[in-house]
């Protein structure tokens, strides 16, 4: 009910849908197509096979080289590939792309990604779907609790009753 599909003159010039668990298949297909297309496809992904990089490096290469701006990017759990420092690099690239009139729709458990300035965060749980302030998301609260009291949380987790 909240989505309105419409046609207009202003349309995204770029787009990408990525599920973290299917990224290996994307990389394989990019390599295959690069061999059979007249224009080298790998150039759009940084110039080297995504398989020749770590999972995180290849994902960042995708964001840095394939995402061209003025786009709609749908990402499902991109944090699966990324270390905390790489998540910060992703935030910087997201800002660059947003400044180029792009939008992101991201399904994530990462409090780092949820912290993007101005992000609208919808929490999905047994209650339903609701707009939730960053500091009230379950992922933020749980991560904060762990970082503030790691020993206590580990003791509680491993306690044998």
Sole residue written with tokens 């390599």:
31
**pLDDT digit string, tens, across residues 116-148:** 999 999 998 898 999 999 999 999 999 999 999
Is residue 3 assigned to a domain?
Answer: no
Cα 16 to the center of its chain, rounded Å: 11
Q: Which position has the higher pLDDT, 161 or 116?
A: 116
79: exposed, middle or buried (Cβ count in 10 Å: 0-12, 13-18, 19+):
buried
Is residue 5 assigned to a domain?
Answer: no
Is the separation of the CB atoms in 105 and 131 below 8 Å? Answer: no
Q: Where residue 13 falls among pLDDT bands split at 50, 70, 90? A: confident
Alpha helices in 79-137 (DSSP H): 84-98, 111-114
Tell me, yes or no, whether 81 and 26 share the same domain: yes
Tell me, yes or no, whether 100 and 143 share the same domain: no
Answering whether pTM is above 0.95, one says no
| Contacts of 14 by beta carbon, 8 Å cutoff, 6+ apart | 67, 68, 69, 70, 71, 72, 102
Is the separation of the CB atoms in 105 and 74 below 8 Å? Answer: yes
Tell me, yes or no, whether 58 and 107 share the same domain: yes
Number of domains in the chain: 2
Domain containing 129 equals 121-161
């Amino acid at each position: 009910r909240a989505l309105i599909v419409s046609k207009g003159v202003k349309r995204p010039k770029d787009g990408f849908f990525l599920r973290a668990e299917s990224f290996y298949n994307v990389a394989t297909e990019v390599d295959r197509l690069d061999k059979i297309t007249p224009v080298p496809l790998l150039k759009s992904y940084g110039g080297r096979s995504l398989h020749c990089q770590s999972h995180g490096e290849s994902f960042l290469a995708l964001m840095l080289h394939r995402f061209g701006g003025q786009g709609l990017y749908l990402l499902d759990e991109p944090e699966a590939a990324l270390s905390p420092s790489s998540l910060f690099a992703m935030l910087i690239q997201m800002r660059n792309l947003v400044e180029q009139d792009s939008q992101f729709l991201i399904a994530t458990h990462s409090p780092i990604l949820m912290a993007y300035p101005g992000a609208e965060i919808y929490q999905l749980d047994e209650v339903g779907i609701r707009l939730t302030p960053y500091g009230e998301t379950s992922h933020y609260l749980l991560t904060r609790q762990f970082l503030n009291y790691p020993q206590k949380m580990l003791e509680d987790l491993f306690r044998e009753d």
